[in-house]
Amino acid sequence: MLRVLSLIIVGVAIFFQGCSEVVFIEKVNSQKQLDVRKKGEFPEKDSNQLVDWTSYPSHSTSWGENVTGVKTTFYTENKEIALTFDACGGQYGSGYDEKLIDFLTKEQIPATLFINKRWITENEELFVELAENRLFQIENHGTEHLPLSVNGRTAWGIQGTNSPEEVFWEVVGNQEEVKRITGRYPTMFRSGTAYYDDVAVEIVEDIGLQVVNYSLLGDAGATFSSQKVKHALLQAKPGDIALLHMNQPQSGTAQGVIEAIPILEEAGFSFVTLEGYELR
């Protein structure tokens, strides 16, 4: 907790050392309601807290999708699967798969949606509709859709955050945006590319979120054909977390999901959101 409070204060301190006014204003605004999440609350920061960025290492010991602390499955004694859909945002990632969402809604299939701040900015009305749909659990997919690193590691050609401070704001920026619109802070986080280092995972946990990836690759970044999506989903086991996308309507994701779900239901599977489950 003390280390995260130190992270908060440094945003202000760096401004007075010469950072741009725009960055300063953005961070101060986001701090008005959000600092560190513990037990559903974000307490006021201590303005007298000493700044100590060295409390988090600037070099990590592991990097990837499955570093220590990343959750990939959930505990269940039933034949349950969690479908999760990412909405990544940006120039090529701000689409909306209406066919997919309409199917899930019509068939009453719950899902957890990890949504990026950029996508929310481009689709705020749609985001409100999704957040108001009780089938869907809204969670945090980052602010700029970056791999989460304390020293600028890259994944899939995308450079990650480059310091503990950047890790913090990649998470917190979207936390505040979701709270502003929905009145609720997310409790789970998935980074852009689903890559992390061990220090970044520690920071996210200290903020108060669980880092959630997947055990079943559903559409490979919305690149799978519908038949590949269907085949992937039919490999599901109880407690699997499937990773798919809801922001690429031209992809095979919707059709693959539409074809796979009835078969899975016939096999006795049901679908759940992640809320309330023990993640592993």
Domains plus CATH for the chain? 1-55 (no CATH), 58-272 (3.20.20.370)
DSSP-based three-state secondary structure for 160? coil
**Least confident piece of the model among 24-28, 65-69, 151-155:** 24-28
Q: What is the mean pLDDT of residues 76-96?
A: 98
pLDDT band at 218 (very low <50, low <70, confident <90, very high): very high
Q: What confidence score (pLDDT) does residue 59 get? A: 87
Closest CA to 114 of 154, 155, 159, 171: 171
Contact 216, 243 (CB under 8 A): yes
For 101, 142, 211, 228, the CA distances from 71, given in Å and listed in that order, are: 25, 17, 6, 24
* CA gap 70, 196 in Å, rounded: 9
Residue 232, amino acid: A
Residue-wise over 60-91: b if at least 16 C-beta within 10 A, else e? beebebebeebbbbbebeeebbbbbbbbbbee
Q: What confidence score (pLDDT) does residue 177 get? A: 98
For all residues of the chain together, what is the average pLDDT?
A: 85
pLDDT band at 53 (very low <50, low <70, confident <90, very high): low
Tokens of 149: 């690193």
**Percent of the chain residues topping a pLDDT of 70:** 81
For tokens 């019509």, name the residue: 106
- How many residues appear in the chain? 280
Top-ranked range on mean pLDDT: pick from 40-54, 55-69, 124-138: 124-138
Q: What is the mean pLDDT of residues 253-265?
A: 98
Q: What is the mean pLDDT of residues 206-227?
A: 97
pLDDT band at 54 (very low <50, low <70, confident <90, very high): low
* CA gap 141, 118 in Å, rounded: 10
**Least confident piece of the model among 21-25, 42-46, 249-253:** 21-25
* CA gap 11, 25 in Å, rounded: 10
Has residue 274 got a pLDDT over 60? Answer: yes
Q: Is 39 exposed, middle or buried, given 0-12, 13-18 or 19+ CB atoms closer than 10 A?
A: exposed
pTM of the model: 0.83
Sign of the torsion angle spanned by Cα atoms 86, 159, 74, 169: negative
Helices (H), 35-142: 98-106, 117-122, 124-132
